[in-house]
Amino acid sequence: MFKFFTSKKWFKWSIFGSMFILISTWYQVQLDVKINEWFGEFYDTLQKALTTPGSVTETEFIAYLFTFAKIAGIWILIAVFTGFFTSHWVFRWRTAMADYYHEQWLKARLTEGASQRVQEDTLKFARIMEGLGTGLLDSLMTLIAFTPILWGLSKQIDLLPWIGEVDHALVWVAIISALGGTILLALVGVKLPGIEYDIQKEEAAYRKELVMGEDDPIRAAPPTIGQLYNRVRGIHFRAYFNYLYFNAVKWSYFQGMVIVPYLALAPTIVTGAITLGFVQQITRAFGRVEGSLQYLVKSWSTIVEFISVWKRLSEFEKKLHSGKVEHYTETV
């Protein structure tokens, strides 16, 4: 699965391509930092204009809007091109995997489900890595960039409701709320990876019987295929029930987190110690830090699917490396 990074053939794509994605992602985050600073200045100007008529000219106000358009335009340009390049980069990774499997095909074809591993699972692996990998990189970069900003802005926020004085309060609120939510949802969704594995297992057994029935009329007969489908239905209904309470907790958590920064800022806001621009700037920085820390929560379903694909490909490659050619029962 990782020959893309060890083969000389793919050296330029794997190494230099990774560096390009890393640098471009970092630059995007820096542009996001500039946009965060813009929000602070813009809302302060807006507050000034609304409070004191004539204190801000139309030209000055429109200039702020054009500044945002310029930064946002550069961000969009880089984001689109980076996404385009990343898609090509990940497809080269898939190609490196496919090339290896093609070279080993005389041995690989004797493994049951080999065609599905080579075609479908490499495709899934590439697509998941594109989303999951870039999301992780962006979260780490954002966390590195915005945590110091939130730390600096939080110097003025040292009082929390019901708790009292806390230095750099919003930083600790972001960390505790995000980690707390991650632990909560991990506990609530602890059964989901196992259920997802069982779904793949039962679906594979059902699919295998149908494939065998294409060549053998005795296979896929109504009693047998009916029993297999009943097992598929049972595990899917079990998944629906478990996702019911998982989603209830997940969305309650995300909706509740919308008011958390404003709740933490309440004692400071009511005293009038900060401006509207500062509120916008610090809540946006809070959202970036908190969102980065919530990466595992937001990517939970994708991570479960990635584990499933990784396990299938690992079992497939283990068969190739061992030199064994006997068939094995497809489990996922």
- Domain residue spans of the chain: 3-322
More confident residue, 224 or 33: 33
pLDDT at 328 over 60: no
Per-residue pLDDT reduced to its tens digit, 77-113:
999 999 899 888 888 888 888 887 777 777 767 666 6
Residue 323's pLDDT is what?
58
Q: Which of 183, 180, 184, 170 is nearest to 260 (CA)?
A: 170
Q: Which of 59, 70, 84 is nearest to 34 (CA)?
A: 70
Residue 26: pLDDT band with limits 50, 70, 90: very high
Q: Where are the alpha helices (DSSP H) in 189-271?
A: 192-215, 222-257, 260-270
Is there a contact between 41 and 105 (Cβ–Cβ < 8 Å)?
Answer: no
pTM listed for this prediction: 0.70
CATH superfamily assigned to domain 3-322: ABC transporter type 1, transmembrane domain (1.20.1560.10)
Give the other-Cβ count within 10 Å of 218's Cβ: 8
C-alpha–C-alpha distance, residues 203 and 216, integer Å: 20
Mean pLDDT of the chain: 82
Is there a contact between 246 and 192 (Cβ–Cβ < 8 Å)?
Answer: yes
Per-residue pLDDT reduced to its tens digit, 239-266:
899 889 888 988 888 888 888 888 888 8
Rg of the chain, C-alpha, whole Å: 26
Adjacent-strand bridge partners of 164: 160
Q: What is the DSSP letter of 12?
A: I
Residue 31's pLDDT is what?
92
Looking only at the bridges linking them, the beta strands covering 164-165 and 159-160 are antiparallel
Residue 40 has which token pair?
A: 């602070």
C-alpha–C-alpha distance, residues 105 and 103, integer Å: 6
Burial readout 5-14 (b: 16 or more C-beta within 10 A, e: otherwise): eeeeebeebb
Residue 326's pLDDT is what?
45
DSSP codes, 99-155: HHHHHTHHHHTTSTTHHHIIIIIHHHHHHHHHHHHHHHHHHHHHHHHHHHHHHHHGG
Residue 234 has which token pair?
A: 């049972």
pLDDT at 306 over 50: yes
Q: Is 66 left (phi over 0), alpha (psi -120 to 50) or beta?
A: alpha
pLDDT at 194 over 90: no
